[in-house]
Amino acid sequence: MTTDAHPTDPRTALVPRTALVTGAGRGIGRGVALGLARAGWSVALVGRTRAHLDDVAAQLEALGATATVAAGDLVDATTVADVVARVEAAFEDVGGIGLLVNNAGVIEQAEVPFADDDVEDAWRVVETNVRGPLLVTRAVLPGMLARGGGRVLNMNSGAGVNAGGAYTGYHISKGALARLTTMLDAQYRDQGLRVLDLAPGVVATDMTGAMPTHEQRTEWTPVEDVAELVRAFGDGELDDLSGRFVRAGADTGASLRAATAEILATDARRLRLSTFGAGDPLA
């Protein structure tokens, strides 16, 4: 679907169906990788633990998909440059990296307010969740721009746009990630880049299972719903919503396409300061 306000750039139609997924060894990253593979995508699995990545690669290959594994620490700039170079080389014959999914992330060890938190642990969360996507995106971006476009999906959270009583570092990191999404869209939309924030809802993973706030939870967001939104974005179905925020479990590809005109007309789903009306000097 296209709109008069933001016509789809014809260059994005040429973006290859190849994806680099970080944090792909388990949890949401694994689910996204499997979903893309089932849809016919070639997938590069990136993360810290080689054994986990190899297990997922075997599952992808059993589906008939092409899987590439590149292990490394994503907060180390030299390592990231090497990982991305290896993935680009693996995808060279099919057009390079078409979609980056910045999924890798962590949360604080304790569910406590800031005064009770370990500041070093909070900073570990900020560094992993912000520096990692910054480095990986920066390494992938030149190739995408040289080819005329690409897509970057940042796995965000409701914590990126809503305050909470705990996990301060996590909230800070996801807010920063949301701003990265808007900045990339503002700076590179005209060069064919499309960027999206996707909150996965509450998926049953090792991380969410260890959080006290979810101890009594009985309903979870199916990881397949997350993977389908990633697939829809990767295939260009949500290009008009570049720079905005969507949520699995509430949004679907169909519902977002149906609401695109209204979202664009109201400039909704974008990180910004709320004002008190037309008389607000910051409006």
For the annotated catalytic residues, the residue numbers are 170
Enter the tokens of residue 246.
């969507």
Cα–chain center distance at 133: 9
Put the strands of the sheet holding 99-102 in their side by side order.
67-71, 42-47, 18-22, 99-102, 150-155, 193-199, 244-247
Residue type for position 93: D
Residue type for position 253: G
How far apart, in whole angstroms, are the C-alpha atoms of residue 73 and residue 78?
A: 9
Q: Which of 200, 10, 24, 21 is nearest to 98 (CA)?
A: 21
Tokens 């900045």, residue located: 183
How far apart, in whole angstroms, are the C-alpha atoms of residue 157 and residue 174?
A: 6
Enter the tokens of residue 34.
């499997």
- Taking CA atoms, 184 is separated from 48, 188, 224, 225, in Å, by 26, 6, 27, 25
The three-class DSSP label of residue 279 is coil
DSSP state of 96: S
Cβ neighbours for 16, distance < 8 A, ≥ 6 positions apart? 91, 94, 95, 96, 97, 98
The three-class DSSP label of residue 246 is strand
